[in-house]
Chain A
Amino acid sequence: MDTDKLIAGLTEHADAVRRLPSPWVRTASWFAMAVPYVVAIVMIMTPRDDLAVKFTDFRFLVEQVAALCTAIGAAVAAFQSIVPGYSRRLLLLPLVPLSVWLASVGEGCVEALLRGGALQTFTSDFLCIPAIALVGALPAVAMTLMLRKGAPLWPYTSAALGGLAAAGLGNFGLRFFHGQDASLMVLVWQVGTVFMLTILCGQAGRLFLDWRPAIARARRNLAAH
Chain B
Amino acid sequence: MQAAQAGDMRAYERLLKEITPKLRQIVRRRRQFFSAEEVEDLVQEILLSIHTVRATYDPSRPFMPWLSTIAHNRLIDSARRFYRGKSNEIPMDELPVTFADDWANIENEGYRDPEELKIAIKGLPEGQRKAVEMLKLREMSLKEAAVASGTTMGALKISIHRAVLNLRKALSKE
Contact = CB atoms under 8 A, between A and B. Distances in A.
B168 interface: no
A203 B131 CA distance: 40
A214 interface: yes
Contacts of B40: 3
Interface string A7-37: 1101110111111101000000000000000
A14 B54 CA distance: 10
A211 interface: yes
Nearest to A11: B13
B35 to A, nearest CB: 15
A155 to B, nearest CB: 10
Interface residues of B, number: 37
Interface in B35-62: 40, 43-45, 47-49, 51-59, 61-62
Given A17-B54, A219-B48, A153 B73 contact: yes
B124 interface: no
Contact of A14 (B51, B58, B62): B51
A16 B73 contact: no
Contacts of B47: 3, 6-7, 10
B111 interface: no
A19 B3 CA distance: 12
A1 B44 contact: yes
B32 interface: no
Contacts of A218: 48, 51-52
B39 to A, nearest CB: 10
B58 A82 contact: no
A82 B53 CA distance: 10
Nearest to B73: A153
B6 to A, nearest CB: 5
Contacts of A10: 12, 16, 47-48, 51
Contacts of A82: 56
B145 to A, nearest CB: 31
Contact of B70 (A3, A11, A149, A151): A151
A11 B73 contact: no
Tell me which of B4, B20, B56, B77 has the highest count of chain A C-beta atoms within 10 A of its own C-beta.
B56
Contact of B16 (A7, A15, A149): A7
Interface in B1-36: 4-7, 9-10, 12-13, 16-17, 20
A215 B45 contact: yes
B66 interface: yes
Given A3-B40, A84-B57, 11 more contacts: A8-B13, A11-B12, A11-B13, A16-B5, A17-B7, A18-B55, A84-B66, A84-B69, A85-B66, A150-B53, A154-B73
30 contacts: A7-B20, A8-B13, A10-B16, A10-B47, A10-B48, A11-B10, A11-B12, A11-B16, A14-B4, A14-B7, A14-B9, A16-B5, A17-B5, A17-B7, A18-B55, A19-B55, A19-B57, A20-B56, A83-B56, A84-B53, A84-B67, A149-B55, A151-B70, A153-B69, A153-B73, A154-B73, A211-B74, A211-B77, A214-B49, A215-B52
